Amino acid sequence: MIRALAVLLMLALAAPAGAAERGLLWNRTGLPAVFPLQVKTPPGAAWRVTLLDAETGRAGLAAAFDGGAFFRVLVPPGRYDLLFEAGQSFDSDGFGAEGPSDSFVLERRLSFEISPGGRKTGHIVDLTERGEARVTAQSICQGALLIPREGIRPQRKDAPLTERYPSYELEIYDRYC
């Protein structure tokens, strides 16, 4: 009975065939995607952004999203030209037979890299104003916290140092800076 309910639930939640893919479509660079790219577009269209390597022109990463809200994706390090495509609908086969209704390459080449101070430098691209893209830098800073594994408790003064001080775990976190 429980198995039957679980199967029915999985079938109900499964995406229908040909359902639209959103988010990261692929990363062909072989590098980890760790740098932030946020895109704001006007509502009413399906969008795809493709990062083209500045040196070779090869497509390195692609992501798809719906217009009208901020979309965030992590991208690999490098210098890229951003190819934006918009259409009425986007599914696992792309924009379909009609293809994208709008396609352009961002005029400004963008770099995704570690900047001085260890910041992961990415970008925010705002395409809401027709014909004009606004690009601003965005950085992610990493920090570390030392968290005691066990609570601090009073110890004898003659106890060995390893017993007097608690052991710590190192927790790494990211934040926008």
Q: Which CATH number is 100's domain given? A: 2.60.40
Residue closest to 49 by CA, chosen among 119, 15, 100, 97: 100
Residue 105 sits in the same domain as residue 168: no
Q: How confident is the model at residue 92 (pLDDT cuts 50, 70, 90)?
A: low
Give the residue numbers spanning the domain of 114: 17-141
Least Cα distance to 50 among 115, 96, 39 occurs for: 39
Same-domain check for residues 75 and 128: yes
Between 132 and 32, the higher pLDDT residue = 32
Rounded to the nearest integer, the mean pLDDT of the chain is 82
Give the per-residue pLDDT at 73: 95
Based on the fold, state whether residues 151 and 109 are members of the same structural domain. Answer: no
Please identify which residue in the block is written with the tokens 């009073």.
154
77 and 60 share a domain? yes
Q: Tell me the whole-structure pTM to 2 decimals.
A: 0.71
d(CA 92, CA 47): 13
- How many domains are there within the chain? 2
